[in-house]
Amino acid sequence: MREVIFDTETTGLDPSKGHRLVEIGCVEVLNGIPTGRTFHHYLDPQREMPEDAYNVHGISAEMLAGKPLFADIADAFLAFTDGAKLVAHNAEFDFRFMNAELLAAGRPELDRERMVDTLALARRRHPGSPVSLDALCARYGIDTSRRTKHGALLDSEILAEVYAELTGGRQTSLVFAGPRAQGWSGNVAAKREPRPAPLPSTVTAEELAAHESFVAGLGEAAVWRRYAEEPAG
């Protein structure tokens, strides 16, 4: 199954009040394992950057000068996410912004049937516990040392690990990570060594006598007779 883990950074909390996207980050996941394909853009919101938003993600209006408009990358985003489930933490927030931008660019909205909200998954799995991205990383032992500010691509990469834990899929990725990282070819062959001495038989004398009596009653053409006549290899 193909899924896209994604995150956004914005100028504020409500697109209906004129707030815009300033960053999109996406990570492709296939059958629970990141493929290495990503989609990432900073965007010119065509407005000022409020101080509260800057304090969260550290993206200034000066940094965004000359970056593409959302309309410039809308088709590339739709192509990257085409046919995939869309996974986000507090996904309703990201979907509202994405759909506002898509409509403004004359593109179709994202279908909410494709939405997977890891915040809702975490609340069901850990009722009564903190379920922020940082809290889930602490619970699952996921390294967040690089996360000094919110960033869409980095948060998507971290969320991919959290999502694997929430859905029980992380063990699959861990099984393949070690050997492949060491140049494993994918072929595993068991090494067999001969025993220094044969294991002693566990068949009792009574069982052996019963077997011989049974074979004797099968007649001269019995398969067991041919097997018994073969030399030991």
What would the pLDDT profile of 185-206 be if each residue is shown by its tens digit? 444 444 556 667 777 777 788 8
pLDDT of residue 44: 97
Instruction: Name the residues annotated as catalytic.
Output: 150
pLDDT at position 194 is 65
- Residue 114 near residue 99, CB atoms below 8 Å: no
- pLDDT score, position 231: 54
Position 177 scores a pLDDT of 44
Evaluate whether 42 touches 59 at the Cβ level (below 8 Å): yes
Question: Can you give the pLDDT at residue 171?
Answer: 52
| Residues of the chain under the 70 pLDDT cut | 148, 169-195, 221-233
C-alpha span between 136 and 75 (Å, rounded): 33
pTM of the model: 0.71
Domains, the chain, ordered by start: 2-181 (3.30.420.10), 201-233 (no CATH)
26: left (phi over 0), alpha (psi -120 to 50) or beta: beta
